[in-house]
Amino acid sequence: MGHSVDSAGLLVVLWLMISSWAYVGSSEGYISYEISDKGLDFVKDLLIEKAETSLVPLELPNIEKTVKIPVIGTVSMEVSNVTLYRVHVTSSTVKTGDTGILVDVAGATANLTMHWGYSYSTWLLPISISDQGEAEVQIEGMEIGLLLDLKNQQGSLKLSLVDCGCYVKDLSIDLAGGASWLYQGLVDAFEDKIASAVEDAVLKKLIGAIQELDSFLQSLPKEVTVNNISALNVTIVGDPKLSNSSLELEINGLFSLKDEAAVSKLQRENVEVPFSCNGPARMVGISVHENVLESASAVYFEANKMHWIVDNIPDQNLMNTAEWRFIIPQLYKQYPNDDLNLNISVHSNPILKIGEKQIDATIPLKVIIDVLDDGQVVPVACISVVISAAAYPEVSRNALAVSVKLNEFTMSQDWSKIGNLHMYLVQPVISTLLRTVVLPYINLKLSKGFPIPIFHGFELQNTELLCTDSRIIIGSDVAFIETAQPHTVFV
Ligand SMILES: *[C@@H]1O[C@H](CO)[C@@H](O)[C@H](O)[C@H]1NC(C)=O
Ligand SMILES: *[C@@H]1O[C@H](CO)[C@@H](O)[C@H](O)[C@H]1NC(C)=O
Ligand SMILES: *[C@@H]1O[C@H](CO)[C@@H](O)[C@H](O)[C@H]1NC(C)=O
Ligand SMILES: *[C@@H]1O[C@H](CO)[C@@H](O)[C@H](O)[C@H]1NC(C)=O
Ligand SMILES: *[C@@H]1O[C@H](CO)[C@@H](O)[C@H](O)[C@H]1NC(C)=O
Ligand SMILES: *[C@@H]1O[C@H](CO)[C@@H](O)[C@H](O)[C@H]1NC(C)=O
């Protein structure tokens, strides 16, 4: 792959990779992720690419060895400044199963440089003899295996290394400098020691990297800020679940008012809908329960963000009492030729139900007619409107956006200071208002969508979307869009 991955990015991937268990009888995970084999491979490739660059340069300890050679006597030899400068993985696999996540690097090559030297004295010659030079070491067929385990530790992911091994199969040393041709044979005595030094160093480095990854995972926030009103609870719920073809993970996934506990009114029913994304295999399946959408709308409702004053509409004539002469005669009589405002508010939490093909939304509105009389805002009547709408979800960048279409609405008079309103007369006006003002406004607000919590720096691509009973299922591939900045993890 041509892109570079920094460490946060990498960790993210691992998180994604690790993240896919669910439905182990847990009841509070409203967003779940299922990482398929394809997704795991993607993560594995990124991790390996990262490992190739972060493993090197790796300094190995000096190695000394004395060799007794007939006639010559004892020769002491040393290799120093042993540096692993290149590792290249040629074949690897990742498998999940009951025991954990197994990453198996079946083939890797590596290159080292080192400095060699020897010295000896012999009774044949009165002086001590020494020589030195450089050497290139080539490693073919290095094998590395890692068995990882992933658990939920107080709402964070705990990654641990269950087992690991590194084995250098074949190694060749080419000496250069000095009388190297003469000592080539002697140096071969170092092969085993160099091989085990490489094995030890690589393992140590990998263990360190896994610990780093684990601290990163544990440092991930359990709540992320969505905007200045709301936050999303990304606490891990239940233990990740591994099967032989995927990894599943659940997060709480509910929105709450920033700095306050999750929306209290929300029913905490048990959610146990198995999810399966049919069709072409995607890297990740994300399942979003309708409670997530409901919590989001509840937060906005509770934050009182769902009201607005309309004083400008396509048919501006309607914003003057003159136009209402025949619709509400009293209005014109009491306030001839005054301008109007409409104070529209969502007056209780919208109800969202995910159906077979769309989201059914019921939105209760109050429409207050305000007259602008001598600079005074005078509310004169209030109409209750209940909109029934269908919302069609789509994934746009990393957000779940919905577009809302009005199905029907019902209306009734709430109160009036301008006599009884004739609903059949008011209805066409309200209908126009809903279609030309309210719905476009709601759609504009919703077009940004709900963020789908995935890691910063990644983008969902090639997505397909499916509504099932009470859940939206997103099947998607994942790609890097930019280098992730450390610490900005989500959204
Ligand atoms: C160690 O080897 C590297 C190249 O592999 C070289 O740049 C460096 O100068 C060497 N250091 C010593 C102390 O010989
Ligand atoms: C590194 O080692 C591989 C085989 O182990 C060899 O094919 C390659 O040429 C070496 N690269 C360098 C720069 O020596
Ligand atoms: C929240 O952000 C919006 C713009 O995105 C701004 O209009 C509003 O004043 C902000 N509210 C607070 C409390 O900061
Ligand atoms: C995965 O496990 C299921 C049963 O849980 C089994 O039927 C299937 O053959 C297994 N697949 C592989 C590739 O091992
Ligand atoms: C976040 O979700 C976890 C798990 O469901 C829950 O225990 C915790 O109370 C939630 N946090 C807030 C602030 O609601
Ligand atoms: C709009 O109506 C609500 C009651 O539904 C009221 O609380 C609010 O003050 C009104 N806003 C304006 C600007 O009149």
pLDDT of residue 395: 87
Q: CA torsion, points 176, 181, 183, 188, in degrees to nearest 10?
A: 80
Distance CA(173)–CA(184), nearest Å, equals 8
190 vs 104, more confident:
104
The mean per-residue pLDDT over the stretch 483-491 comes to 38
Q: Name the residue at shortest CA distance from atom 8 of ligand 6.
A: 343
Ligand 5 pocket residue status of 293, Cβ below 6 Å: no
**Number of C-beta neighbours around residue 321 at 10 A:** 24
Identify which ligand lies nearest to the alpha carbon of 378.
6
- The most confident of the ranges 113-117, 187-191, 262-266, 386-390 is 386-390
Q: Name the residue at shortest CA distance from atom 11 of ligand 6.
A: 343
> In this structure, what token pair is assigned to residue 112?
């080292």
Q: Which atom of ligand 1 is nearest to the CA of 115?
A: 14
Distance CA(488)–CA(471), nearest Å, equals 28
pLDDT tens-digit map of 421-438:
999 999 998 999 899 888
- Are the C-beta atoms of 110 and 78 separated by less than 8 Å? no
- Are the C-beta atoms of 164 and 146 separated by less than 8 Å? yes
Q: How confident is the model at residue 125 (pLDDT cuts 50, 70, 90)?
A: low
Q: Tell me how many helices (H) and strands (E) the chain has.
A: 8, 22
- The most confident of the ranges 11-20, 35-44, 298-307 is 35-44
Q: CA torsion, points 324, 325, 329, 335, in degrees to nearest 10?
A: 80
Distance CA(332)–CA(219), nearest Å, equals 64
pLDDT tens-digit map of 329-354:
999 999 999 999 999 999 898 898 99
Distance CA(386)–CA(367), nearest Å, equals 11
The mean per-residue pLDDT over the stretch 249-261 comes to 83
> In this structure, what token pair is assigned to residue 466?
């499916």
Q: How many CA atoms lie within 13 A of 378 on its CB side?
A: 16
Distance CA(56)–CA(447), nearest Å, equals 46
Ligand 6 pocket residue status of 377, Cβ below 6 Å: yes
447 vs 39, more confident:
39
pLDDT of residue 273: 43
Domains and CATH numbers, the chain: 51-219 (3.15.10.10), 254-480 (3.15.20.10)
pLDDT tens-digit map of 262-303:
544 444 444 444 445 455 578 888 888 999 988 888 888 888
> In 3-state terms, the chain is what percent helix, strand and coil (to 5)?
25, 50, 25
Task: Give the bridge partners for 161, in sequence order.
Answer: 148
Identify which ligand lies nearest to the alpha carbon of 367.
6
pLDDT cut 70: percent of the chain above it: 85
pLDDT tens-digit map of 169-179:
989 888 887 66
Q: Is 177 helix (H, G, I), strand (E, B) or coil?
A: coil
167 vs 458, more confident:
167
Ligand 5 pocket residue status of 256, Cβ below 6 Å: yes
Q: Name the residue at shortest CA distance from atom 12 of ligand 1.
A: 81
20 vs 338, more confident:
338
Q: CA torsion, points 374, 380, 385, 391, in degrees to nearest 10?
A: 10
Q: What is the pTM of this model?
A: 0.79
pLDDT tens-digit map of 175-228:
887 666 666 766 777 888 899 999 999 999 999 999 998 998 898 889 888 888
In the reported structure, the alpha carbon of residue 231 is separated from the centroid of ligand 6 by a whole-number distance in angstroms of: 26
Q: CA torsion, points 196, 198, 203, 208, in degrees to nearest 10?
A: 140
Q: Which atom of ligand 6 is nearest to the CA of 368?
A: 2
Mean pLDDT of the chain: 83
Ligand 1 pocket residue status of 205, Cβ below 6 Å: no
pLDDT of residue 27: 58
* Nearest Cα to Cα of residue 473 among 292, 319, 314, 342: 292
* Residues with Cβ within 8 Å of residue 234, at least 6 apart in sequence: 220, 221, 222, 223, 224, 251, 252, 253, 453, 490
Distance CA(55)–CA(206), nearest Å, equals 8
Q: Is the dihedral of CA 55, 61, 67, 72 positive or negative?
A: positive
Rounded to 5 degrees, φ, ψ at 23 are 50, 40
β strands within 177-297, DSSP E: 223-225, 230-233, 236-242, 246-251, 255-257, 284-289
pLDDT of residue 124: 62
Q: Is 474 helix (H, G, I), strand (E, B) or coil?
A: strand
pLDDT of residue 401: 87
pLDDT tens-digit map of 133-160:
888 999 998 999 999 999 999 999 999 9
> In this structure, what token pair is assigned to residue 400?
């779940």
